[in-house]
């Protein structure tokens, strides 16, 4: 087998939310090795300027390239919205974001051509989903709305109680009157809130989870570049974080859907300020547990 097919897939996100994409990749491509980088020292990206998000995304990508990955997935919707076209142009290996797969999924799902999009403030302000959908068809009517508190709710694990429902109702009410039959969950964290979002939007509204669509895109891209590993089980998952946050193991497992094999803290990107402390922690595995 060509050695390049054995290289891992690289995935990065602003934090641990992108593990929802890793979870889908494991389902679809169980034989692939995956290296995940979460920039937990600098999360959230969704409230930051486009310039800052671009800088961080370029550094995150640089870290993954140093691990010799064969393809990079920008699992963060904010970074995909702001930085993807430029970064993909700069790289020789394929770089896939979550935005286009999500837009394509919504285009395929809608019958009445009314599509609602939710995401972080930076994602919605970028207008990237509107552009991606309009590029597919100029007959779509699109309404988008930021839901910043959903990120905190997902991390706290308050995803299906009355608090989550009340917040979802407040954010989503402007969208319910729009009559969309399709809603794009344009943020890594939102798939965890599918239950309450669906309760507010109603059964008739299809929720498009870009993580699922992205995994399908990764498989297609690897297949057409003849880079699929050829294994159908036993892929290794390595998780690197720029900071080990409080309760990271519990939160990470919630997103990944199972314990990760190992989590390691790296000194950069994002970890420079606390280099001494990081060095101490990277000397060994910060945490590990069996699959």
Known catalytic residue at 187: yes
Residue 15 CB, shortest distance to ligand DGL, in Å, is 6
Phi and psi angles of residue 250, each rounded to the nearest 5 degrees, phi first: -65, -45
Rounded distance, CA 60 to CA 38, Å?
8
Catalytic option among 187, 237, 241, 278: 187
For residue 101, state whether it binds ligand DGL (rule: CB under 6 A): no
Q: Applying CB under 6 A, which of residues 40, 110, 123, 144 lies at the interface with ligand DGL?
A: 123
For residue 46, state whether it binds ligand DGL (rule: CB under 6 A): yes
Catalytic option among 21, 76, 205, 228: 76
Closest CB to ligand DGL among 69 and 74? Answer: 74
- String of contacts with ligand DGL for each residue 71-100, x by CB under 6 A: -----xxx----------------------
The residues, ordered by sequence, that sit 6+ positions from 121 with a Cβ below 8 Å of its Cβ are: 46, 47, 146, 148
Find the binding residues for ligand DGL in span 171-200 (CB under 6 A).
187-189
For residue 260, state whether it binds ligand DGL (rule: CB under 6 A): no
Residue 21 region by backbone torsions, left for phi larger than 0, else alpha for psi between -120 and 50, else beta? alpha
Residue 136 CB, shortest distance to ligand DGL, in Å, is 21
Closest CB to ligand DGL among 71 and 98? Answer: 98
Closest CB to ligand DGL among 124 and 200? Answer: 124
Of the candidates 268, 238, 269, the one whose C-alpha atom is nearest the C-alpha of residue 252 is 238
Element (H, E) at 40: none
Known catalytic residue at 278: no
Element (H, E) at 207: strand 206-209
Give me the residue whose beta carbon is nearest to ligand DGL: 46
Find the binding residues for ligand DGL in span 136-155 (CB under 6 A).
151
Count of all residues that appear for the chain in the document? 291
Rounded distance, CA 56 to CA 59, Å?
5
Q: For the chain, count helices (H), then strands (E).
A: 12, 11
Q: Please check whether residue 289 is in contact with residue 250, taking contact to mean a CB–CB distance below 8 angstroms.
A: no
Closest CB to ligand DGL among 8 and 46? Answer: 46
Residues of the shown chain interacting with ligand DGL in the complex, contacts defined by CB under 6 A: 13-15, 17, 43-46, 76-78, 120, 123, 151, 187-189
């Amino acid at each position: 087998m060509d050695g390049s097919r054995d290289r891992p897939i690289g995935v990065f996100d602003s934090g641990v939310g992108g593990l929802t994409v890793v979870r889908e990749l494991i389902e679809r491509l169980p034989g692939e090795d995956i290296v995940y980088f979460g920039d937990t020292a600098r999360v959230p990206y969704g409230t930051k300027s486009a310039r800052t998000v671009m800088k961080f995304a370029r550094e995150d990508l640089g870290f993954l390239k140093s691990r010799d990955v064969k393809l990079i997935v920008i699992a963060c919707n904010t970074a995909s919205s702001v930085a993807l076209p430029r970064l993909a142009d700069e790289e020789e290996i394929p770089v896939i974001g979550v935005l286009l797969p999500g837009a394509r999924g919504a285009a395929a799902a809608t019958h009445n051509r009314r599509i609602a999009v939710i995401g972080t403030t930076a994602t919605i302000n970028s207008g990237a989903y509107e552009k991606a959908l309009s590029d597919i068809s100029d007959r779509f009517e699109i309404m988008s709305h930021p839901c910043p508190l959903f990120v905190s709710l997902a991390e706290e694990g308050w995803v299906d109680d009355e608090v989550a429902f009340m917040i979802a109702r407040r954010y989503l009410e402007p969208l319910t009157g729009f009559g969309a039959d399709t809603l794009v969950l344009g943020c890594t964290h939102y798939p965890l809130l599918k239950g309450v979002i669906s309760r507010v939007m109603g059964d008739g509204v299809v929720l498009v989870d870009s993580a699922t669509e992205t995994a399908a895109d990764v498989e297609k891209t690897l297949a057409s570049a003849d880079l699929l590993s050829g294994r159908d089980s036993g892929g290794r998952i390595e998780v690197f974080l720029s900071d080990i946050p409080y309760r990271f193991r519990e939160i990470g497992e919630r997103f990944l859907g199972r314990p990760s094999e190992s989590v390691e803290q790296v000194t950069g990107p994002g970890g420079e300020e606390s280099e001494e402390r990081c060095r101490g922690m990277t000397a060994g595995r910060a945490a590990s547990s069996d699959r």
